[in-house]
Amino acid sequence: MSAKEVIKLRDKLQVSQEELSDAFGLSGRNAISRWETGRRKPSELARRLLCLLNDLPVGEAKAIIRRLGQYKLKRR
């Protein structure tokens, strides 16, 4: 998934960089910002999850992001 596609997906789902970062178990929004600027590429696992989220209906994808973010918060 390209940098532009990550931006497009996040816009489509109306989630912040921080929300997406939490869902992926990353610290802060800097990692997502680096993906979106092309300075870094998501891992293979992250790319697969991004593609899966992109293929789901918006409501389902947002629910998964929220759930993953909650799981991360519980693990801290």
Over residues 24-41, the pLDDT tens digits come to: 988 877 999 999 999 999
As a CATH number, domain 3-75 is 1.10.260
pLDDT at residue 72, rounded to an integer: 58
Residue 74 has pLDDT above 60, yes or no: no
Nearest to 33 by CA among 66, 62, 24, 53: 24
Residues 6 or more apart whose CB falls under 8 angstroms from that of 23 comprise 15, 64, 65, 66, 68, 69, 72
Check if the beta carbon of residue 31 is closer than 8 Å to that of residue 39. no
Residue 22 vs residues 15, 52, 75: alpha-carbon distances, Å: 11, 17, 11
Which pLDDT tens digit goes with each residue over 49-72? 999 999 999 999 999 999 998 875
